[in-house]
């Protein structure tokens, strides 16, 4: 029997400074410093730093990081994102091996790989993606691999290149509701994101899929629930919901801050709809507690 959806409370209006539940402790513990040194020594990039993730202290202190492939300059200029945009010139053919060695040295059991959009490359970087997943498989065979991929401009052959490399989880962040794509996701297409998951389900039906949405860009409750339904309809099993935090004055403003209780309600909505796991909270990001998310959804 279908359970009724929880009713969300009325929106809390945006007022002045960030609310107290968004405060985080400054990073700096011994494991954080060790991981930072390792990243620098191997000339690696992490989305934890590039995207100004609020959880960097907690995750790095736990020796968990999300490695960012293909440099730190993105060919797109999304209105919410802190990653530098422009024309990339960076290329490091040794990066796959460096990441594989870093994962092995840290003894990680779950690794998240992501990348900037490289629309300047004929395959969007898919071959590099596959090489990196392969290096982790070879050098750290016990590690679960989560691939947080770009949309490859909708090219199914590039998506299949990544899937053939056998990630355990395929993740692509939807980020926002369809109405806000034009202002928030320059170069992205909502239907393209859904098509990515639809095709992945066709070619690899057992592959665990995951997506994330950031809240506070101006979406309505109806739009948000509609997007959640769309993602479930194309086979997404894990959903993350987190608060949008404005990286700088040139980025999109925060339309509103969601209360922690609202995130709990939204997690209930997601579970009632049928997601295998929903991770929701003000500071939740796609790779936050990624290992726990994977295990809850039944990934190997």
Q: Which tokens sit at 284?
A: 């939740």
**First vs last C-alpha separation in the chain:** 29
Q: Would you place residue 45 in the very low, low, confident or very high pLDDT band (cuts 50, 70, 90)?
A: low
Q: Which tokens sit at 186?
A: 């320059």
As a whole number of angstroms, the distance between CA 141 and CA 97 comes to 14
The domains of the chain are located at 23-296
DSSP conformation letters of 210-256: EEEEEE-SS--HHHHHHHHHHHHHTT--EEEEEE----STTSPPP--
pLDDT of residue 10: 46
Lowest mean pLDDT among 63-67, 176-180, 205-209: 63-67
pLDDT of residue 211: 97
pLDDT of residue 195: 98
Would the pLDDT of 11 be above 70?
no
How many residues are there in the chain? Answer: 300
Dihedral angle computed from the Cα positions of residues 63, 67, 71 and 77, in that order, rounded to the nearest 10 degrees: -110
Which residues on neighbouring strands pair with residue 149, listed in sequence order? none
pLDDT of residue 108: 79
CB 186 within 8 A of CB 76: yes
As a whole number of angstroms, the distance between CA 55 and CA 27 comes to 9
Sign for the pseudo-dihedral over CA of 216, 220, 221, 226: negative
Lowest mean pLDDT among 75-89, 148-162, 214-228, 242-256: 75-89
Would the pLDDT of 13 be above 50?
no
CATH number of the domain located at residue range(s) 23-296 in this protein = 3.20.20.70
Question: Which is higher by pLDDT, 43 or 86?
Answer: 86
Q: Model pTM?
A: 0.86
Q: What's the mean pLDDT in 143-157? A: 95
Would the pLDDT of 48 be above 70?
no
Q: Would you place residue 187 in the very low, low, confident or very high pLDDT band (cuts 50, 70, 90)?
A: confident
pLDDT of residue 124: 96
CB 129 within 8 A of CB 165: yes
Mean residue pLDDT of the chain comes to: 85
């Amino acid at each position: 029997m279908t359970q009724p959806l929880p009713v969300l409370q009325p929106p809390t209006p945006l007022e002045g400074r960030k609310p107290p539940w968004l405060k985080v402790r400054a990073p700096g513990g011994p494991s954080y410093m060790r991981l930072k040194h390792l990243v620098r020594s191997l000339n690696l990039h992490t989305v934890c730093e590039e995207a100004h993730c609020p959880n960097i202290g907690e995750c790095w202190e736990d020796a968990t990081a999300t490695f960012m492939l293909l440099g730190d300059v993105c060919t797109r200029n999304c209105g919410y994102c802190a990653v530098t945009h422009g024309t990339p010139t960076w290329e490091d053919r040794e990066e796959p091996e460096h990441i594989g060695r870093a994962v092995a040295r840290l003894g990680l059991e779950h690794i998240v790989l992501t990348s900037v959009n490289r629309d300047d490359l004929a395959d969007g970087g898919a071959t590099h993606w596959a090489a990196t997943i392969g290096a982790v498989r070879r050098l750290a065979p016990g590690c679960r691999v989560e691939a947080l991929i770009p949309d490859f401009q909708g090219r199914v052959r590039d998506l299949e290149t990544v899937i053939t490399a056998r990630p355990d989880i395929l993740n692509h962040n939807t980020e926002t509701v369809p109405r806000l794509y034009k202002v928030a996701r320059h170069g992205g297409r909502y239907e393209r994101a859904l098509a990515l998951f639809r095709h992945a389900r066709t070619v690899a039906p057992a592959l665990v899929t995951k997506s994330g949405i950031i809240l506070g860009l101006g979406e309505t409750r109806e739009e948000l629930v509609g997007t959640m339904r769309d993602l479930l309809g194309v086979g997404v099993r894990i959903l993350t919901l987190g608060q949008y935090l404005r990286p700088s004055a040139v980025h999109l403003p925060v339309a509103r801050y969601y209360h922690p209780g609202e995130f709990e309600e939204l997690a209930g909505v997601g579970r009632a709809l049928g997601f295998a796991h929903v991770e929701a909270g003000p500071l939740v990001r796609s790779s936050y507690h990624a290992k726990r998310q994977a295990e809850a959804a039944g990934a190997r």
